[in-house]
A = this chain, B = another copy of it.
Amino acid sequence: MKTEILTVLRETDGYVSGQELCDRFGVSRTAVWKVINGLKEEGYAIASLPRKGYRLEGAPDIVSESELLSRLETRWLGRRVVFFEQTDSTNTQAKRLAEEGAPEGTLVVADMQTAGKGRRGRSWQQAPGTMVSMTFLLKPEFAPDRASMLTLLAAHSVAGAIEAVTGLSAAIKWPNDIVINGKKTVGILTEMSLSVEQDSIHYVVVGIGINVNIREFPEEIKDVATSLYLESGSQVNRTCLIGEVMKRFEADYEQFIALENLTGILEDYNAHLVSMNREVRVLDPKGEFQGISRGMNQNGELLVEKEDGSVVCVYAGEVSVRGLYGYV
């Protein structure tokens, strides 16, 4: 009921009468009044006028199941939300839910992670309310070797969502980092469960961590990490950002399934690529080499042009981009 009333208030520009809410959901005036009071207690600013009804004038920066569901504009992604005030890691929770049979599209969000994981297993813990920690569950029918493309899709969706919500320019560091003004702001961690004999995917979880309202970074990483707050100078509504990521990912994913490759996002992805037409150093397992990045191709590989003019498809490993002060 809370989610439904919040959704109606959110979708209506002016006032919604109490009677209308009663009729629409088949409940009493008292029931509506209780929900409205509950919302006010959570921090929602709701104006009420006799004979006119209720109007939503402001939402608190809280992330909750109702707040999320009333913001989502997706058709299937995130239609089931599992919210934690605090949890070990949203990826771990999503995997547990998947093993228990949770449906495709299930979204796990935590206000705070106690054992969030970055790349190379680095731990990552922040104060409650300062990050977006979200993971969604997918059950794609394609072969396991294509799962890495989901990370690329997610990077694209998140970069677009950040730009739409904050107005900042977000750049993608292939394959799965997002940087703003040269500093890392987002991490993406995709995990998969599969059947070995059948070479088929059981499920994939795509985990996204965004530094949103962090006001200060520890000395040792403040030159390489930043937050949306620090770059934009203002608080960002996290639920709004999550909703935007979900909407964009749903569209990107459906297009990817239909086309069976990354053609649909390719141009826009490359327009966001940090390394585009710049010098890169590739730490290939077979040896390091340098070249000019020519962007990602439809299979998700990074094309690197070597000095002799030959183009190498890089599909894994570290790629660093030459900056003013060396490779980063």
Contact = CB atoms under 8 A, between A and B. Distances in A.
Contacts of A175: 197
A119 B196 CA distance: 11
B189 A119 contact: no
Interface in A161-187: 175-176
A22 interface: no
A297 interface: no
Nearest to A117: B195
B196 A191 contact: yes
Contacts of A190: 195-197
A82 interface: no
A99 interface: yes
Mostly, the A contact residues are: mixed
Interface in A57-97: 92, 95-96
Interface stretch (A6-14, A144-152, A259-267): A144-152
**Copies of this chain per assembly:** 2
Contacts of A195: 189-191
Report which residue of A147, A192, A196, A199 has the largest number of chain B beta carbons within 10 angstroms of its beta carbon.
A196
A140 to B, nearest CB: 12
Interface in A197-243: 197-199, 202, 204
A316 B145 CA distance: 14
Contact of A204 (B120, B147, B196): B196
A194 to B, nearest CB: 6
B95 A147 contact: no
A198 to B, nearest CB: 7
B196 A148 contact: yes
A191 B199 contact: no
Contacts of A194: 191-194
Nearest to A317: B199
Contact of A192 (B95, B119, B188, B196): B196
A316 B100 CA distance: 29
Contacts of A176: 197
A196 B316 contact: no
- Sorted from nearest, which 5 A-B pairs have the closest CB atoms? A190-B196, A193-B193, A147-B196, A96-B99, A148-B196
Given A120-B198, A189-B195, A190-B197, 14 more contacts: A95-B193, A119-B197, A119-B198, A148-B196, A151-B196, A176-B197, A190-B196, A191-B193, A191-B195, A191-B202, A192-B194, A193-B194, A194-B194, A196-B204
13 contacts: A92-B99, A119-B197, A147-B196, A148-B199, A150-B196, A176-B197, A190-B195, A190-B197, A191-B202, A192-B194, A194-B194, A196-B204, A199-B316
